[in-house]
Amino acid sequence: MTLIHKNLCRSKNLANFDFNEYIKKLTKDLFPSYKIDAGKIILKINIETIPFGTDTAIFCGLIVNERASNSLKYAFPNDREGEINISLSVLLTTMISNS
């Protein structure tokens, strides 16, 4: 989580904090930690630009880190090939009312 704190400190405005780049860096750094051949597991990241507060960015980073770590540890036994998809988007709901 040191990575997110460094990125947050560098960002003068949290609305400009690039969570997409943070997640790319975080997940890329996990591959050597688990001695994973990056050619065997494809990592797909699709994250919308969403302004985060510090608490939300840290919380989301922890979740992504845990899920990606567990995927690398357990989802691909015996050098099995595969894909990890990470997506984040804002779901907007419109309410229609009869007036």
CA proximity to 48, closest of 92, 5, 1: 92
Domain ranges of the chain: 2-88
Cβ–Cβ under 8 Å, residues 18 and 47: no
Cβ–Cβ under 8 Å, residues 47 and 88: yes
What was the pLDDT predicted at 61? 84
CA proximity to 74, closest of 36, 25, 22, 29: 36
Q: Which residue has the tokens 């880190």?
A: 65
What was the pLDDT predicted at 73? 93
Amino acid identity at 29: D
Q: What is the full per-residue pLDDT of the chain (99 aa) written as tens digits?
A: 566 666 666 665 655 667 888 888 888 888 898 888 878 999 999 988 877 777 787 788 889 999 999 999 999 988 899 999 999 888 765 666 555
CA proximity to 24, closest of 90, 70, 68, 71: 68
